[in-house]
Amino acid sequence: MKVHLINPPSPGDFGFTREGRCMQKEGVWTTTWPPISLTESAAVLQQKGHDVRVNDCSVEGVDTEKLKGILKEFAPDLVVMNSTTPSLNFDMTMPPLIKEVLPTAKIAAFGIHVGALPEESFALTDALDFIVRGEPELTIVDLADRLEKGTDPSDVPGLSSRLNGTIVHAGDREFVKNIDEFPYPAWDLIDLDNYTLPFSGRQFLMVTTARGCPYKCIYCVAQSYYGKKIRMRKVPKIVDELEYLGDMYGVKDFFFWSESFTIIKKAIKELCREILRRNLDIRWVCNSRVDNVDRELLELMKQSGCWMISYGIESGVQDILDGIKKDVTIAEIEESIKLTRSVGFQIAGHFVLGLPGETKETLHKTYNFACSLDLDYAQFYCASPWPGSEFYRMAKAENWLASDNWDDYEQDKSVTNYPGLSAEEITRFRNRATRRFYLRPKIIWRTMTRMKSPEEFMNFLRMLKAFLTWV
């Protein structure tokens, strides 16, 4: 069976990442992430003998007219599209467009939003046939297998189906216990030149180290996609993949993809030692909670090629951190940032403005806290109550939502009105905070000294253009 996996065109004049919990414009990091969910699903489909094509349209410059031409040329039997909350309205214009070109093709959507609100998502277009809920790979391949055999797929675990105008929800699919069973992502189906690091312009790829997160942060939607239980890959398997990607594609830069990379410190120390033992010449970045690092771990990470760590800090106010169930303290944040700097990393801090309990005073406290930390990068987001999160359920129950238009559920725009603090005020503060942070002489100096060649300066100008879409 021919299966076409797509990230739809961008909903605006910018690159757009659709990847699990990450639903964001290119301007957030001035780059777009490689589509690991699409390529992992493609690899599983190929393993079962299906003919697969992948298009990451927003990165490839594929608009709706070009997509129609690609669909007509490939003529797939099944089209599977990734979708996110802020791009949902645009994404749901794709099924009618696909049916216009391929009237008999079946169309499925996956992603956190459609999985959390399948009934509402089906209601947006009559042309959508299926919704994949939760972890997508096995549900997609089971759907393709059933369609190829001509048998009813409506009882496939994790699948919601439209049958003769009626929506049928099969039971939930259990999360894959051993994620090492998956083949490597089919990166050969996309153009890797489209995925490059800021400044250096080097190609990079994402490598999954684990899935699942046991923490209870109310704003996060990761558990609805990958579950609460941590499923760690075996260290030799991860390093085998790093070697394979270097040999096959010549890629030496990686983003280790997991909900919190350092959550099992013993395993990550083992991973670093195995990278060193095999003498791999690689560079990599990761995310982490501040309470999951120590000096031994950081030094091993640095020795094995890690050059930047992104920390989820969220707020500079302890009461807000407690209210969102972050389970960290201001002291832990300060200590970990100092420790990380002392080992020699670049550091990114992520801050979420407009969380429950936010006031005008706490907004300023969080900004001042961000400036007091020795960070290289700070990302200021507006708290977005995405379906699938506890925050969304709270916002609906408390009547905080300022909009029911999913286009507004972007991380650069607030949609929550609180007593004494409006969504518009949160958005304006977030924009000012971003500009002010990066216009400080210390940050400007660090940014300029990172550029080592004319090529990196030209990359910086491209980054600046993308970044302006974010502020």
Report the run of H or E that residue 256 belongs to, with start and end. strand 253-257
- φ and ψ of 111, to 5 deg: 135, 165
- Kindly state whether residues 75 and 208 are assigned to the same domain: no
Contacts of 359 (CB under 8 A, 6+ apart): 418, 420, 421
Which one-letter amino acid corresponds to residue 292?
Answer: N
**Listed residues 169, 187, 222: the one ending a domain:** 169
Q: Of the candidates 388, 385, 447, which has an alpha carbon nearest to the alpha carbon of residue 411?
A: 385
* pLDDT tens series, the chain, 471 aa: 999 999 999 887 777 778 877 767 665 556 788 999 999 999 999 999 999 999 999 899 999 999 999 999 999 999 999 999 999 999 999 999 999 999 999 999 999 999 999 999 999 999 999 999 999 999 999 999 999 999 999 999 999 999 988 999 999 999 999 999 999 999 999 999 999 987 678 899 999 999 999 999 999 888 888 888 999 999 999 999 999 999 999 999 999 999 889 999 999 999 999 999 999 999 999 999 999 999 999 999 999 999 999 999 999 999 999 999 999 999 999 999 999 999 999 999 999 999 999 999 999 999 999 999 999 999 999 999 999 899 999 999 999 999 999 999 999 999 999 999 999 999 999 999 999 999 888 888 877 777 676 666 565 556 555 555 545
Is 184 inside any structural domain? no
- Kindly state whether residues 297 and 258 are assigned to the same domain: yes
Q: Of the candidates 25, 29, 21, 36, which has an alpha carbon nearest to the alpha carbon of residue 205?
A: 36
Question: pTM value?
Answer: 0.92
Assigned token pair, 118 = 């399948």
pLDDT at 469: 55
CA distance 4 to 68: 12
Is 185 inside any structural domain? no
- Kindly state whether residues 398 and 313 are assigned to the same domain: yes
- Kindly state whether residues 23 and 136 are assigned to the same domain: yes
CA distance 379 to 280: 31
- Kindly state whether residues 219 and 96 are assigned to the same domain: no
Is 189 inside any structural domain? no
- Kindly state whether residues 292 and 333 are assigned to the same domain: yes
CA distance 35 to 55: 9
CA distance 135 to 211: 10
- Give the residue carrying structure tokens 């990470």: 301
pLDDT at 449: 76
Assigned token pair, 87 = 């791009």
CA distance 82 to 405: 19
Is 362 inside any structural domain? yes
Q: Domain of 328: which CATH number?
A: 3.80.30.20
Report the run of H or E that residue 144 belongs to, with start and end. helix 137-149
Is 174 inside any structural domain? no
Contacts of 406 (CB under 8 A, 6+ apart): 85, 86, 88, 89, 113
Assigned token pair, 14 = 């910018």
CA distance 167 to 213: 30
pLDDT at 162: 97
Which regions of 57-134 does DSSP assign to beta strands (E)?
78-82, 106-110, 130-132
- φ and ψ of 298, to 5 deg: -60, -40
Assigned token pair, 428 = 């304006």
Is 464 inside any structural domain? yes
Number of domains making up the chain: 2
DSSP 387: T
User: How far, in Å, are 62, 185, 206, 284, 305 from residue 279 at the CA level?
Assistant: 40, 24, 20, 14, 10
- Kindly state whether residues 335 and 265 are assigned to the same domain: yes
CA distance 207 to 239: 10
- Kindly state whether residues 234 and 373 are assigned to the same domain: yes
- State the Cα angle at 326 between 325 and 330, rounded to 5°: 125
DSSP of 421-467: B-HHHHHHHHHHHHHHHHTSHHHHHHHHHT--SHHHHHHHHHHHHHH
DSSP 126: T
Residue 306 three-state SS? strand
Say how many Å lie between the first and final Cα of the chain, rounded. 44
- Kindly state whether residues 219 and 348 are assigned to the same domain: yes
- Kindly state whether residues 207 and 304 are assigned to the same domain: yes
- Kindly state whether residues 135 and 200 are assigned to the same domain: no
**Listed residues 134, 154, 169: the one ending a domain:** 169
328: left (phi over 0), alpha (psi -120 to 50) or beta: beta
Is 177 inside any structural domain? no
pLDDT at 198: 79
User: Which domain range does residue 124 map to?
Assistant: 2-169
- Kindly state whether residues 200 and 136 are assigned to the same domain: no
Is 451 inside any structural domain? yes
Which one-letter amino acid corresponds to residue 172?
Answer: D
